[in-house]
Amino acid sequence: MYSINFIAYAYDKKGDGVYESFLIPFTFFALIHNENSHVEIIVINKKRFISRYENEIKELKSINSNFLIREPQYKMNKHIPNTYRFFETPTIKSEYTYISDVDIMFLENVLPTYKQNWTGNLCFNNMLRTKDVMRLTGVHMVKTDDYYTEKMRDCQRKYYNLNVNMNDEVVLAKMCKEVYGLPNFEHRFRPILGIHFSPNRGKGKIMSLKTTKRYYDSFMMSKTNYPNIFAFEIFDKLINDLKSEFIITL
C-alpha cells in the first residue's frame, strides 16, 4: 500500500489543453519529493492524452512509474470544471489521498507536515476560507479508508446529480459537513508546499505569482538532476514562467 496517492484531475473546458499540460510535471514533482507515493492522473480522453504526451510519459516512467492514467468516474454536466475532482473515488490503495490543484508543483514531502497539523478527529485536513461562507479550499488531504465510505460515495452522487453551477469549494464543504462535519475556523492550516503556477495569476493580472528563493532553488536543482525530462516543452514553459512571471521572496 502506498503512503499517499495524489489525485491529479485536469478538465480543460475551453479545449485549450492548459491544465492537461500540467499533469506530467505535477506527477514528476509529487513522486520525486514524496516517499512511497503514487499519482492517479484523470483526463477526459485517456487515448488522446497518452498520444499527445507519449514521449513525456515514457521519460517519466524511467524516473518513477508509480502513476496511472484513467478517465473520470462521472461524466461532465453543468458543474464547474474544478468540482469533478471532489466526486472521484481513488482506485489506488493508499493510507492518505491528496486532492490538489494540478498547477501546484510539490517540492516537499507533504505527509509529515499534514500529520503534525491535523484537524482534530476529522478524517480530512482542510480549512474554511471565511467565517461567513461555508467554503473549504481546493487542497484537500484525507485519510483514504475513513473518508471514502459508502456514506460519502452516496453524498458524492447526490451532489453530482444536483447538476448545478456552484463553486467547487462550496460543494466540497457541503459534502464534508453533511457526512463528517467541518473544521473550526481557528484551524488555519492549508499549506502550498511547492510552487503554484496558476494561469490566472502573474504580471498584468489581479493576483501576482510568488514563491520563495528556497523553492526556486529546489525547482532549478530538479532541472539539473533530471535534464532529459526538462528538455520537454511543458517543463521548459514552467522554467520560463518561473524566471519571467514570478516574484521571488526570501
**pLDDT digits 0-9 by tens, 69-88:** 999 999 999 999 999 999 99
Instruction: Quote the CA–CA distance of 98 and 199 in Å, as a whole number.
Output: 21
3-state secondary structure of 164: coil
Q: Residue 134: which CATH number?
A: 3.90.550.10
Considering the domain boundaries, does residue 133 fall inside one? Answer: yes
State the Cα–Cα distance between residues 101 and 87, nearest whole angstrom. Answer: 15
Q: Of how many residues is the chain composed?
A: 250
Contact yes or no for 25/229 (Cβ under 8 A):
no
What is the reported pLDDT for 41?
98
* Span 150-185, pLDDT tens digits: 999 999 999 999 999 999 999 999 999 999 999 999
Domain contains 239: no
Residue 36 forms part of a structural domain? yes
When divided into structural domains, the chain yields a total of 1
User: Which pLDDT score is estimated for 204?
Assistant: 78
In a domain, 207, yes or no: no
Give domain status of residue 229, yes or no: no
| Domain enclosing residue 110, as ranges | 2-197
Alpha-carbon distance 48 to 206, whole Å? 34
Q: Which three cell numbers stand for residue 195?
A: 510552487
Can you read off the three cell numbers belonging to residue 249? 521572496
Exposure of 155 in the CB half-sphere (CA atoms within 13 A) = 17
**Which pTM value belongs to this model?**
0.96
pLDDT cut 90: percent of the chain above it: 93
pLDDT band at 115 (very low <50, low <70, confident <90, very high): very high
**203 found inside a domain:** no
Whether residue 19 lies inside any domain: the answer is yes
Query: Over 90: is that where the pLDDT of 205 sits?
Result: no
Helices and strands, counts by H and E, the chain: 10, 10
DSSP code, position 128: B
Q: Does 85 map to a domain? A: yes
Paired residues of 249 in beta bridges: 212
Contact 198, 103 (CB under 8 A): yes
